Amino acid sequence: MFRFLNAGESHGKALTVIVDGYPSNVKVDKNKIDQELSRRQKGYGRGGRMQIEKDTVEIISGIRFGISLGTPITLLVKNRDWENWTDIMDPEGKPTQKKQIVEPRPGHADLVGGIKYGFYDLRNILERASARETTTRVAVGALCKILLEDVGINIGSYILSIGEMRLEERDYGSLSLEERFANAEMSELRLAVAGKDEEFKDYIDRAKKEGESLGGIFEIYATGVPIGLGSYSQWDSRLDGKIAQAVMSIQAIKGVEIGQGFALASKVGSMAHDEIFWEEDRGFYRKTNRAGGLEGGMTNGEPIIVRAGMKPIPTLMRQKSLQSVNVVTKEPFVAAKERSDITAVPAAAVVAESMLAFVLVREILEKFGSDNWIHIKQRIEEYREYTRRY
Protein backbone atom coordinates (compact mmCIF):
# COMPACT_ATOMS: atom_id res chain seq x y z
CA MET A 1 0.00 0.00 0.00
CA PHE A 2 1.42 3.34 -1.09
CA ARG A 3 0.82 6.01 1.55
CA PHE A 4 2.34 8.94 3.38
CA LEU A 5 2.06 10.39 6.86
CA ASN A 6 3.20 13.93 7.54
CA ALA A 7 3.77 15.82 10.78
CA GLY A 8 4.80 19.22 12.04
CA GLU A 9 3.45 22.61 13.05
CA SER A 10 3.53 25.84 11.08
CA HIS A 11 6.02 27.49 13.46
CA GLY A 12 7.54 24.30 14.81
CA LYS A 13 11.09 23.14 14.31
CA ALA A 14 10.44 21.29 11.07
CA LEU A 15 7.93 19.51 8.87
CA THR A 16 8.46 15.85 8.13
CA VAL A 17 6.84 13.12 6.08
CA ILE A 18 7.27 9.35 5.80
CA VAL A 19 6.46 7.82 2.41
CA ASP A 20 5.74 4.09 2.60
CA GLY A 21 5.45 1.73 -0.36
CA TYR A 22 7.66 3.69 -2.78
CA PRO A 23 9.26 1.13 -5.12
CA SER A 24 12.96 0.35 -5.34
CA ASN A 25 15.34 1.30 -8.15
CA VAL A 26 13.93 4.77 -8.81
CA LYS A 27 16.48 7.47 -9.50
CA VAL A 28 15.56 10.29 -7.12
CA ASP A 29 16.96 13.77 -7.70
CA LYS A 30 16.81 16.00 -4.62
CA ASN A 31 16.84 19.05 -6.89
CA LYS A 32 13.53 17.94 -8.39
CA ILE A 33 11.94 17.98 -4.94
CA ASP A 34 13.41 21.40 -4.14
CA GLN A 35 12.14 22.78 -7.45
CA GLU A 36 8.62 21.66 -6.63
CA LEU A 37 8.87 23.22 -3.16
CA SER A 38 9.95 26.48 -4.78
CA ARG A 39 6.96 26.40 -7.17
CA ARG A 40 4.62 26.18 -4.17
CA GLN A 41 6.07 29.35 -2.65
CA LYS A 42 5.65 31.54 -5.71
CA GLY A 43 2.67 33.70 -6.63
CA TYR A 44 1.71 37.36 -6.56
CA GLY A 45 -0.29 38.24 -3.45
CA ARG A 46 1.54 35.92 -1.06
CA GLY A 47 2.55 36.99 2.43
CA GLY A 48 5.81 37.71 4.21
CA ARG A 49 6.20 34.09 5.37
CA MET A 50 7.25 33.17 1.84
CA GLN A 51 10.15 35.61 2.18
CA ILE A 52 11.26 33.92 5.39
CA GLU A 53 10.96 30.29 4.32
CA LYS A 54 13.01 29.13 1.34
CA ASP A 55 12.07 25.50 1.52
CA THR A 56 14.54 22.75 0.72
CA VAL A 57 14.29 19.08 1.58
CA GLU A 58 16.60 16.89 3.62
CA ILE A 59 16.43 13.19 2.80
CA ILE A 60 16.68 11.16 5.99
CA SER A 61 16.03 7.58 4.87
CA GLY A 62 14.97 5.28 2.05
CA ILE A 63 17.37 6.57 -0.61
CA ARG A 64 21.02 5.64 -1.07
CA PHE A 65 23.32 7.17 -3.67
CA GLY A 66 20.26 8.69 -5.37
CA ILE A 67 18.40 5.38 -5.75
CA SER A 68 15.28 4.41 -3.81
CA LEU A 69 15.62 1.28 -1.68
CA GLY A 70 11.97 0.24 -1.52
CA THR A 71 11.97 1.05 2.20
CA PRO A 72 10.19 4.01 3.87
CA ILE A 73 11.45 7.36 2.65
CA THR A 74 11.69 10.11 5.27
CA LEU A 75 11.84 13.74 4.16
CA LEU A 76 12.39 16.76 6.38
CA VAL A 77 11.86 20.46 5.68
CA LYS A 78 13.16 22.82 8.36
CA ASN A 79 11.21 25.93 9.35
CA ARG A 80 13.62 28.85 9.24
CA ASP A 81 11.23 30.94 11.34
CA TRP A 82 11.60 28.42 14.21
CA GLU A 83 14.33 30.51 15.81
CA ASN A 84 11.74 33.21 16.53
CA TRP A 85 9.31 30.72 18.07
CA THR A 86 11.50 28.48 20.22
CA ASP A 87 9.89 29.51 23.52
CA ILE A 88 6.38 29.59 22.09
CA MET A 89 6.46 26.19 20.37
CA ASP A 90 8.93 24.39 22.66
CA PRO A 91 7.86 20.71 22.91
CA GLU A 92 9.31 20.41 26.46
CA GLY A 93 9.33 23.93 27.91
CA LYS A 94 6.99 25.66 30.32
CA PRO A 95 3.66 27.03 29.06
CA THR A 96 3.64 30.68 28.04
CA GLN A 97 0.89 33.14 27.19
CA LYS A 98 3.09 34.73 24.57
CA LYS A 99 1.34 34.54 21.19
CA GLN A 100 -1.59 32.79 22.87
CA ILE A 101 -4.77 32.89 20.80
CA VAL A 102 -8.21 32.92 22.44
CA GLU A 103 -10.01 34.79 19.69
CA PRO A 104 -11.11 32.41 16.90
CA ARG A 105 -11.05 33.62 13.31
CA PRO A 106 -14.17 33.01 11.21
CA GLY A 107 -13.50 30.61 8.36
CA HIS A 108 -10.59 28.88 10.12
CA ALA A 109 -10.38 25.66 12.13
CA ASP A 110 -9.76 27.66 15.35
CA LEU A 111 -13.09 27.44 17.17
CA VAL A 112 -14.25 24.00 16.07
CA GLY A 113 -10.81 22.52 16.66
CA GLY A 114 -10.63 24.07 20.13
CA ILE A 115 -14.02 22.62 21.07
CA LYS A 116 -13.20 19.21 19.59
CA TYR A 117 -9.77 18.76 21.22
CA GLY A 118 -10.42 20.69 24.42
CA PHE A 119 -8.06 23.67 24.10
CA TYR A 120 -8.64 27.34 24.93
CA ASP A 121 -5.29 28.38 23.49
CA LEU A 122 -6.25 28.05 19.85
CA ARG A 123 -2.63 28.13 18.73
CA ASN A 124 -2.74 24.38 19.41
CA ILE A 125 -5.21 24.17 16.53
CA LEU A 126 -4.04 26.66 13.98
CA GLU A 127 -0.41 25.53 14.00
CA ARG A 128 -1.37 22.18 12.47
CA ALA A 129 -4.43 23.32 10.51
CA SER A 130 -2.24 25.84 8.66
CA ALA A 131 -1.57 25.37 4.95
CA ARG A 132 2.12 25.26 5.84
CA GLU A 133 1.41 21.52 6.18
CA THR A 134 1.12 21.27 2.39
CA THR A 135 4.88 21.75 2.08
CA THR A 136 5.40 18.05 2.69
CA ARG A 137 2.54 17.13 0.35
CA VAL A 138 4.45 18.87 -2.43
CA ALA A 139 7.62 16.98 -1.49
CA VAL A 140 5.69 13.71 -1.77
CA GLY A 141 4.21 14.92 -5.04
CA ALA A 142 7.70 15.46 -6.40
CA LEU A 143 8.58 11.84 -5.65
CA CYS A 144 5.39 10.79 -7.41
CA LYS A 145 6.05 12.95 -10.47
CA ILE A 146 9.45 11.29 -10.85
CA LEU A 147 7.67 7.93 -11.24
CA LEU A 148 4.92 9.25 -13.48
CA GLU A 149 7.19 11.13 -15.87
CA ASP A 150 9.31 7.99 -16.24
CA VAL A 151 6.30 6.25 -17.82
CA GLY A 152 5.10 9.20 -19.89
CA ILE A 153 2.53 10.69 -17.50
CA ASN A 154 2.76 14.45 -17.05
CA ILE A 155 0.90 16.66 -14.59
CA GLY A 156 0.40 20.40 -14.62
CA SER A 157 -1.89 23.21 -13.50
CA TYR A 158 -2.99 26.71 -14.41
CA ILE A 159 -5.27 29.43 -13.06
CA LEU A 160 -8.56 30.37 -14.72
CA SER A 161 -9.82 33.00 -12.28
CA ILE A 162 -8.97 35.01 -9.20
CA GLY A 163 -11.92 36.61 -7.47
CA GLU A 164 -14.19 38.10 -10.12
CA MET A 165 -11.37 38.32 -12.65
CA ARG A 166 -11.71 35.44 -15.10
CA LEU A 167 -9.93 34.35 -18.22
CA GLU A 168 -12.30 33.99 -21.16
CA GLU A 169 -12.59 30.49 -22.60
CA ARG A 170 -12.11 31.97 -26.06
CA ASP A 171 -8.61 32.98 -24.92
CA TYR A 172 -7.50 29.62 -23.52
CA GLY A 173 -9.90 27.09 -25.10
CA SER A 174 -7.83 26.75 -28.25
CA LEU A 175 -4.59 26.26 -26.30
CA SER A 176 -3.35 22.76 -25.56
CA LEU A 177 -2.94 21.70 -21.94
CA GLU A 178 0.81 21.90 -22.40
CA GLU A 179 0.58 25.45 -23.77
CA ARG A 180 -1.57 26.54 -20.84
CA PHE A 181 0.93 25.00 -18.44
CA ALA A 182 3.87 26.69 -20.19
CA ASN A 183 2.11 30.04 -19.85
CA ALA A 184 1.41 29.33 -16.18
CA GLU A 185 5.04 28.54 -15.45
CA MET A 186 6.02 31.96 -16.81
CA SER A 187 3.28 33.82 -14.93
CA GLU A 188 3.43 35.16 -11.36
CA LEU A 189 -0.20 34.10 -11.02
CA ARG A 190 0.02 30.82 -12.96
CA LEU A 191 -2.44 32.17 -15.53
CA ALA A 192 -3.28 29.90 -18.47
CA VAL A 193 -3.05 32.83 -20.91
CA ALA A 194 0.08 34.92 -21.46
CA GLY A 195 0.02 38.70 -21.12
CA LYS A 196 -2.74 38.90 -18.51
CA ASP A 197 -0.65 39.26 -15.36
CA GLU A 198 -0.72 43.02 -14.99
CA GLU A 199 -4.50 43.42 -15.05
CA PHE A 200 -4.87 40.59 -12.53
CA LYS A 201 -2.17 42.10 -10.32
CA ASP A 202 -3.93 45.48 -10.41
CA TYR A 203 -7.12 43.76 -9.29
CA ILE A 204 -5.29 42.04 -6.41
CA ASP A 205 -3.72 45.35 -5.39
CA ARG A 206 -7.18 46.98 -5.26
CA ALA A 207 -8.45 44.14 -3.07
CA LYS A 208 -5.47 44.62 -0.75
CA LYS A 209 -6.19 48.33 -0.37
CA GLU A 210 -9.78 47.47 0.54
CA GLY A 211 -8.64 44.94 3.13
CA GLU A 212 -10.08 42.02 1.19
CA SER A 213 -8.77 38.58 0.25
CA LEU A 214 -9.46 36.60 -2.93
CA GLY A 215 -10.13 33.04 -3.92
CA GLY A 216 -10.19 31.59 -7.39
CA ILE A 217 -10.47 28.62 -9.73
CA PHE A 218 -7.68 26.46 -11.12
CA GLU A 219 -7.39 23.34 -13.24
CA ILE A 220 -4.98 20.45 -12.90
CA TYR A 221 -4.44 17.82 -15.54
CA ALA A 222 -2.63 14.57 -16.22
CA THR A 223 -1.74 13.39 -19.71
CA GLY A 224 -0.47 9.98 -20.83
CA VAL A 225 -2.52 8.10 -18.22
CA PRO A 226 -3.20 4.48 -19.24
CA ILE A 227 -6.72 3.15 -19.61
CA GLY A 228 -8.23 1.30 -16.68
CA LEU A 229 -6.88 2.84 -13.48
CA GLY A 230 -9.55 2.77 -10.78
CA SER A 231 -12.61 0.55 -10.75
CA TYR A 232 -16.39 0.54 -10.91
CA SER A 233 -16.68 -2.44 -8.55
CA GLN A 234 -17.09 -0.57 -5.22
CA TRP A 235 -17.91 3.01 -4.25
CA ASP A 236 -14.53 3.59 -2.65
CA SER A 237 -12.57 2.20 -5.60
CA ARG A 238 -13.86 4.77 -8.08
CA LEU A 239 -10.94 6.95 -9.10
CA ASP A 240 -12.90 10.15 -9.61
CA GLY A 241 -14.02 9.94 -5.98
CA LYS A 242 -10.45 9.41 -4.80
CA ILE A 243 -9.20 12.38 -6.80
CA ALA A 244 -11.98 14.64 -5.57
CA GLN A 245 -11.26 13.71 -1.95
CA ALA A 246 -7.53 14.31 -2.36
CA VAL A 247 -8.00 17.75 -3.90
CA MET A 248 -10.79 18.72 -1.49
CA SER A 249 -8.46 17.93 1.43
CA ILE A 250 -6.34 20.97 0.55
CA GLN A 251 -6.98 23.92 2.85
CA ALA A 252 -9.63 26.38 1.57
CA ILE A 253 -10.77 24.20 -1.35
CA LYS A 254 -14.57 24.18 -1.35
CA GLY A 255 -15.46 22.68 -4.72
CA VAL A 256 -14.08 20.06 -7.11
CA GLU A 257 -15.37 18.93 -10.49
CA ILE A 258 -14.13 16.43 -13.08
CA GLY A 259 -14.12 17.44 -16.74
CA GLN A 260 -17.01 19.75 -17.50
CA GLY A 261 -18.53 18.86 -14.14
CA PHE A 262 -21.53 21.00 -13.23
CA ALA A 263 -21.86 22.31 -16.79
CA LEU A 264 -22.90 18.81 -17.89
CA ALA A 265 -26.01 19.04 -15.73
CA SER A 266 -27.55 21.61 -18.09
CA LYS A 267 -26.70 19.79 -21.33
CA VAL A 268 -28.75 17.24 -23.23
CA GLY A 269 -27.30 13.74 -23.39
CA SER A 270 -26.12 14.01 -26.99
CA MET A 271 -23.97 16.99 -26.03
CA ALA A 272 -22.71 15.62 -22.70
CA HIS A 273 -20.87 12.43 -23.61
CA ASP A 274 -17.71 11.67 -25.56
CA GLU A 275 -18.15 9.59 -28.70
CA ILE A 276 -15.81 6.63 -29.19
CA PHE A 277 -13.53 6.16 -32.20
CA TRP A 278 -10.86 3.64 -33.16
CA GLU A 279 -7.67 3.74 -35.22
CA GLU A 280 -5.26 0.89 -35.72
CA ASP A 281 -2.20 2.78 -34.53
CA ARG A 282 -3.79 4.26 -31.41
CA GLY A 283 -6.70 1.99 -30.50
CA PHE A 284 -9.85 3.49 -28.95
CA TYR A 285 -10.00 7.23 -28.39
CA ARG A 286 -12.35 10.23 -28.04
CA LYS A 287 -12.41 13.46 -30.01
CA THR A 288 -13.89 15.33 -27.03
CA ASN A 289 -13.13 15.07 -23.32
CA ARG A 290 -16.21 16.30 -21.51
CA ALA A 291 -15.81 13.46 -18.99
CA GLY A 292 -12.37 14.71 -17.98
CA GLY A 293 -10.65 11.38 -18.66
CA LEU A 294 -12.80 9.34 -16.28
CA GLU A 295 -15.77 7.10 -17.03
CA GLY A 296 -17.35 4.67 -14.59
CA GLY A 297 -14.76 5.53 -11.97
CA MET A 298 -11.90 4.54 -14.31
CA THR A 299 -9.43 6.33 -16.57
CA ASN A 300 -10.41 6.11 -20.24
CA GLY A 301 -7.09 7.13 -21.76
CA GLU A 302 -7.94 10.78 -22.31
CA PRO A 303 -6.31 13.52 -20.19
CA ILE A 304 -7.59 13.76 -16.63
CA ILE A 305 -9.02 17.24 -16.06
CA VAL A 306 -9.87 18.44 -12.55
CA ARG A 307 -11.17 21.90 -11.71
CA ALA A 308 -11.19 23.23 -8.14
CA GLY A 309 -12.54 26.33 -6.43
CA MET A 310 -10.66 27.94 -3.55
CA LYS A 311 -12.43 30.25 -1.11
CA PRO A 312 -10.84 33.59 -0.13
CA ILE A 313 -8.32 33.47 2.70
CA PRO A 314 -10.51 34.07 5.79
CA THR A 315 -8.08 36.26 7.75
CA LEU A 316 -8.79 39.80 6.56
CA MET A 317 -7.13 43.14 7.10
CA ARG A 318 -8.47 45.63 9.59
CA GLN A 319 -10.89 47.61 7.45
CA LYS A 320 -12.80 44.48 6.39
CA SER A 321 -12.64 42.51 9.62
CA LEU A 322 -15.24 39.98 10.75
CA GLN A 323 -17.14 39.53 14.00
CA SER A 324 -16.25 36.72 16.44
CA VAL A 325 -16.37 35.81 20.14
CA ASN A 326 -13.54 35.30 22.67
CA VAL A 327 -13.52 31.63 23.80
CA VAL A 328 -12.59 32.53 27.42
CA THR A 329 -14.54 35.71 28.17
CA LYS A 330 -17.31 35.03 25.64
CA GLU A 331 -17.12 38.71 24.76
CA PRO A 332 -17.58 39.72 21.11
CA PHE A 333 -14.61 41.16 19.26
CA VAL A 334 -13.58 42.16 15.76
CA ALA A 335 -11.32 39.54 14.18
CA ALA A 336 -8.96 42.10 12.69
CA LYS A 337 -5.49 41.13 11.54
CA GLU A 338 -2.89 43.01 9.57
CA ARG A 339 -1.47 40.63 7.01
CA SER A 340 -0.32 40.72 3.42
CA ASP A 341 -1.64 37.38 2.15
CA ILE A 342 -4.30 38.38 -0.37
CA THR A 343 -4.55 35.21 -2.43
CA ALA A 344 -2.86 31.81 -2.47
CA VAL A 345 -4.61 30.27 -5.48
CA PRO A 346 -1.37 29.71 -7.46
CA ALA A 347 0.15 27.82 -4.52
CA ALA A 348 -3.00 25.74 -4.08
CA ALA A 349 -2.79 24.69 -7.73
CA VAL A 350 0.74 23.35 -7.21
CA VAL A 351 -0.39 21.46 -4.11
CA ALA A 352 -3.28 19.99 -6.11
CA GLU A 353 -0.81 18.76 -8.74
CA SER A 354 0.94 16.85 -5.96
CA MET A 355 -2.26 15.31 -4.66
CA LEU A 356 -3.28 14.18 -8.14
CA ALA A 357 0.21 12.72 -8.65
CA PHE A 358 -0.03 10.83 -5.36
CA VAL A 359 -3.44 9.32 -6.21
CA LEU A 360 -2.27 8.23 -9.68
CA VAL A 361 0.90 6.60 -8.36
CA ARG A 362 -1.12 4.74 -5.74
CA GLU A 363 -3.41 3.40 -8.46
CA ILE A 364 -0.51 2.45 -10.72
CA LEU A 365 1.28 0.55 -7.97
CA GLU A 366 -1.96 -1.21 -7.03
CA LYS A 367 -2.48 -2.38 -10.61
CA PHE A 368 1.07 -3.15 -11.70
CA GLY A 369 2.91 -4.08 -8.49
CA SER A 370 4.80 -2.07 -5.93
CA ASP A 371 8.25 -3.51 -5.28
CA ASN A 372 10.79 -3.04 -8.10
CA TRP A 373 10.29 -0.09 -10.46
CA ILE A 374 12.23 -1.82 -13.25
CA HIS A 375 9.68 -4.65 -13.33
CA ILE A 376 6.73 -2.30 -12.83
CA LYS A 377 7.73 -0.26 -15.88
CA GLN A 378 7.87 -3.41 -17.99
CA ARG A 379 4.34 -4.36 -16.93
CA ILE A 380 3.06 -0.87 -17.75
CA GLU A 381 4.60 -1.01 -21.23
CA GLU A 382 3.08 -4.43 -21.86
CA TYR A 383 -0.31 -3.23 -20.66
CA ARG A 384 -0.20 -0.15 -22.90
CA GLU A 385 0.44 -2.41 -25.88
CA TYR A 386 -2.47 -4.63 -24.84
CA THR A 387 -4.85 -1.65 -24.65
CA ARG A 388 -3.76 -0.52 -28.13
CA ARG A 389 -4.43 -4.01 -29.57
CA TYR A 390 -7.70 -4.66 -27.73
Half-sphere exposure of 292 (CA within 13 A, CB side): 21
pLDDT band at residue 210 under the 50/70/90 scheme: confident
Check if the beta carbon of residue 241 is closer than 8 Å to that of residue 248.
no
**Contacts (Cβ under 8 Å, ≥6 apart) of 204:** 44, 45, 162, 163, 214, 342, 343
Local structure of residue 1 (DSSP, 8 states): -
Query: Per-residue pLDDT for 223 more than 60?
Result: yes
- At residue 17, φ and ψ (nearest 5 deg) are -150, 140
Q: Tens digit of pLDDT for each residue in 306-322?
A: 999 999 988 776 556 78
pLDDT band at residue 297 under the 50/70/90 scheme: very high
Q: Tens digit of pLDDT for each residue in 242-282?
A: 999 999 999 999 999 999 999 999 999 999 999 999 999 88
Query: Per-residue pLDDT for 338 more than 60?
Result: no
* pLDDT > 70 in the chain, percent: 96
CATH class for the domain made up of 3-389: alpha beta
Q: Tens digit of pLDDT for each residue in 59-106?
A: 999 999 999 999 999 999 999 989 999 999 999 988 888 999 999 989
Query: How far apart are the C-alpha atoms of 203 and 199, rounded to whole Å?
Result: 6
Q: What is the mean pLDDT of residues 6-29?
A: 97
- Domain locations in the chain? 3-389
Q: What is the pLDDT of residue 322?
A: 85
Query: Per-residue pLDDT for 229 more than 90?
Result: yes
Query: Per-residue pLDDT for 49 more than 60?
Result: no
E strands along 152-252, which residues? 154-162, 165-166, 216-223
Look at phi and psi of residue 64 and say left if phi exceeds 0, alpha if psi is from -120 to 50, else beta.
Answer: beta
Instruction: Count CB atoms within 10 A of the CB of residue 310.
Output: 26
Query: Per-residue pLDDT for 211 more than 90?
Result: no
Q: What is the pLDDT of residue 340?
A: 60
Q: What is the pLDDT of residue 311?
A: 96
Q: What is the mean pLDDT of residues 147-170?
A: 97
168 versus 52: which is more confidently predicted? 168
Query: Per-residue pLDDT for 337 more than 70?
Result: no
Q: What is the pLDDT of residue 50?
A: 56
Check if the beta carbon of residue 191 is closer than 8 Å to that of residue 158.
yes
pLDDT band at residue 192 under the 50/70/90 scheme: very high
* pLDDT > 90 in the chain, percent: 87
Q: What is the pLDDT of residue 320?
A: 61
Q: What is the pLDDT of residue 315?
A: 74
Q: What is the pLDDT of residue 361?
A: 98
Mean of per-residue pLDDT scores for the chain: 94
Q: Tens digit of pLDDT for each residue in 23-47?
A: 999 999 999 999 999 999 988 876 6
Report pTM. Answer: 0.95
